[in-house]
Chain A
Amino acid sequence: MDKTLMSRVARVVLYLILIIMAIGFIMPVYVMIVNSLKPLDEIRSGDLMALPIAWTVEPWLQAWSKSQIGVQATGLKPYFINSFLLVIPAVVLSTLIGALNGYILTQFKFKFADTLFAAMLFSVFIPFQIVLIPMAKTLGYLGLAGTVKGLIFVNVVYGIGFTTLFFRNYYAAFPNELVRSARMDGAGFFGVLHKILLPNSAPIIVVTVIWQFTNIWNEFLFGASFSDYTSFPLTVALNNLVSSSTGVKEYNVHFAGAFIAAIPTLVVYLVSGKYFVRGLMAGSVKG
């Protein structure tokens, strides 16, 4: 076989493998979508890969506002709202705290600064099982048990490590001359932050916001441990919907529910893939 033919064959094989892999990666979400648009008997008798014959949005309506989660037949809607009420303040607060910490840790020298940062960094990795019992007690004392506020508090506390890491590494690479000359011009603590650092922080703010949004939206353990029927985040409600249904398993409703829970983070991912990847990388490669 001559050389160009061989490399052409290799090229075809390469694309073939990549396409098969890509199909494999898309398949679960494809299955989720097509089966959320089928009546139940079509799933039971037909195959999971086939497009719907009798298209229906009924499973979506069921999952959104009719199916039973816990005591009442409210659908996922109130929990979808809970998740937003949780995520928005938690993301804003933890991002602000991260920016402030990153600024202080890079621009000022004080005792134990490195120790403090290392302590925050390790907190990112701990298995949260180790804090569940005392945190449950604390939330009880504060009167925050079973509330969205309590979940905001918990997610902010355990998000500080990540947000501080992001901003610290970003500000550590920030040109020092700009900060120094602003100081010469008489800018104070907040002046430097407000006039020099924050206006140049757009990329890291986007990375942090996306990272925190995805993490907290998808969070389950704290939600399952510290919330009740009034304050469940969406992940907990979805799990209840899927696992607690007695009798007939409504696969199509489960798929619709799962997709509803996936939409916000998927949209964020599609709109801002580049920043999502940067967050992942910043979260994994430190130093």
Chain B
Amino acid sequence: MKAGWLPKLLITPSAFLVLVCVYGYIMFTVYLSFTSSTILPTLEWNGTAAYTRLFGLENWSVALGNLWIFASLYILIAMGLGLTLAVLIDQKVRAESALRSIFLYPMALSFIVTGTAWKWLLDPGVGIEHTLKTMGFENIPFDWIKNSEMAIYCVVIAAVWQTAGFVMAMFLAGLRGVDGEQINAARLDGAKTWQIYHRIIIPQLGPVFISAFVILAHMAIKSYDLVIALTNGGPGRSTWLPSVFMYQYTFTRNEMAVGAASSVLMLLGIGVVVLPYLYSELRKGNHG
């Protein structure tokens, strides 16, 4: 039905809010990144100075390097573990729903809660290392969280723990949607279970892989809370991510233009991952 004035009127506030508070603010922040804003925003044009400074900062290259390590491991392990769990659970196991609930419940927690729990679990003074010592294993050092070379892997561990169940649920939904006839036919031909997965089922999960990748990649770029609670960016700056960098430079170090520039790059990163996906999903939606 063609919209009269009432529906148009009623959707206007939402449209206005999204237009201003999402897209207007994005444009404002993009503009700020080309100004000389320091502690407060100013509109004084300063060209690409903030970007030049950003790319010259070691803190930024460290944050980017960390994001690269974190994102690739996080995506890879969460997808691997999620798929494994989904396949295992798909073997008509008992207590399926209990197991699913166990693997998925971390998704209901705040990253601050997860970060706090893992902070002390990974702490060599009280956590896993300490426990192993009291059990008599003296020589298993597990002090990654105190080690600036290894601390970023602690962020990976906690993040995987939190989201692997979510990926499992996505794959499980995909597995349950696979055409049963093909599987039965293969089984009649004498194919083994792992062959059926390898040749028939997993190749059909392409769209799930893509969805999971997009969701995980965008979560990795946005990751902030977990790092703050788990390591607060440390030791030193060894677990800084672009999100931590942005907050530090904008609100603590009074280099707002540089902070704005870093957030613009975060948005670009997410845009590259998400926009093609949304575009194809929306097209599918319109045609299906």
Contacts and interface: CB of A to CB of B under 8 A. Distances in A.
A47 B108 contact: no
Contacts of B170: 281, 284-285
Interface stretch (B19-27, B55-63, B139-147): B19-27
Interface residues of A, number: 92
A109 B211 contact: no
B105 A269 contact: yes
Contact of A254 (B21, B116, B161): B116
Interface string B241-272: 00100110011000010011011101100100
A21 B111 CA distance: 21
B263 A130 contact: yes
A215 B165 CA distance: 17
Contacts of B22: 119, 122-123, 126, 131, 158
A221 B224 contact: yes
Interface string B210-227: 011001001001101100
A280 B29 contact: no
B112 A220 contact: yes
A138 B40 CA distance: 13
A127 B222 contact: yes
A133 B288 CA distance: 40
Given A100-B11, A286-B278, A108 B1 contact: yes
Contacts of B6: 189
Contact of B7 (A104, A160, A221): A104
A270 B110 CA distance: 15
A175 interface: no
Interface string A233-254: 0010011001100000001001
B105 A47 contact: no
Interface string A16-42: 011001101111110110010000000
Contact of B284 (A123, A254, A287): A287
Contacts of B260: 133
B282 A119 contact: no
B161 A28 contact: yes
Nearest to A285: B211
Nearest to A267: B108
B211 A284 contact: yes
A82 interface: no
Given A132-B263, A217-B110, A266-B108, A48 B17 contact: no
Nearest to B286: A114
A121 B267 CA distance: 15
B178 interface: no
A149 to B, nearest CB: 16
Nearest to B212: A284
Nearest to A44: B126
Contacts of A109: 1-3
Contacts of B125: 44
10 contacts: A14-B91, A47-B135, A100-B11, A104-B10, A108-B3, A122-B275, A131-B25, A276-B107, A281-B170, A286-B285
Interface of B: 1-4, 6-8, 10-11, 14-15, 17-19, 21-26, 28-29, 32, 41, 85, 88-89, 91, 93, 99, 101-114, 116-121, 125-128, 130-131, 134-135, 161, 165-166, 169-170, 173, 211-212, 215, 218, 221-222, 224-225, 228-229, 232, 243, 246-247, 250-251, 256, 259-260, 262-264, 266-267, 270, 274-275, 278, 281-282, 284-286, 288
